[in-house]
Structure 1
Amino acid sequence: MKIEIGLRGMEGVLKTLQSLPAEIVTKRGGPVKLALAKGARVIRDQARENLRAITHGSDVATGLLESNVIASRGKPILGGNGERYLVRVRRKAYDGEKLKRKENAGKRVSTHKTASLLEYGSSHQPATPWLRPAVQMKAQTAINVITADLSRRIDVIVKKQAQINKR
């Protein structure tokens, strides 16, 4: 006994499903890039808040480090594909006039160095982590934001492709 099942009217659905990968992951990133960026901004904002709490009341705090904590698109890991977003510190040099102290004379201090010293400490300064706690505190929130945003964006693309393929 042989049973045959045939579906009719599925041409539009199949065409929609076949068109999704190109729509979802494009050279420009598409909805995946946008959703990851939104999640990275959640962690970036918490990192900035942590820095603000650490430097609050400091007489040498300029706000330069805090304003240079950014979420940026990164290159894929070697040999891999896909999207990647980083929360990092943009490299800027501090104004020499504000740092005129004997121990800093002739040294160029950057946001990278300051961020590293705060995060990991040194033999002269204890660590006051600000980035790792931000990731620990907001990781689940960032994942939820990415998931919800990506789902919403994919639904919009699916509806748009379904309308196109109805014709």
Structure 2
Amino acid sequence: MPQLDIVSYFPQFFWFCIFFTFFYITLVQNYLPKITRIFAVREAVQQNNTEDSTSNEFVDLSTKTQHVFSKSVQQTKQNCIQQFQTTQELLGIQKDTLNKHTNQVFQKYQNKKIQLNMTVKQTMQQMQDVLPLYTTRANPMNQTKTAQFFYKALMKKVMNASTKTKLK
């Protein structure tokens, strides 16, 4: 490798130093002042903008934020009112439906109750006709009917028993 050659080491180092010295002088003389000026102007502009725009931006931002917040609060309030009205309407409909259904069921109950009372009355009347003993005992006419009823029932039973024994 020629870089490690001892004979050519010194000339390489010499040219290296000369090249970077000229490069450094060119940078310091030409480019660094321009870059420094650009940074200075930029910093000045930023400070002016920061002072002016910070207060203006803050006011603008706070105004916009308040406007957006009030607008969202109004929209939310309107939505809540609308939902509340819708809920009230639905509850009214459900209440009417429930009242209608309850009234229908109550009417059916009343009709069934009346029918049951009529059935009980008819049954009581029929029981008085079929079972005379069920009526009051103070009436001698009822006692005679009761005696006749039991006599007939006893005779039927005896006749059935006697016919069964004859068949065997």
**TM-score for both structures, normalised by structure 2:** 0.24
Bigger radius of gyration among the two: 2
Structure showing greater relative contact order (alpha-carbon pairs closer than 8 Å, 6 or more residues apart): 1
The structure where helix makes up a greater share of residues is: 2
The structure where strand makes up a greater share of residues is: 1
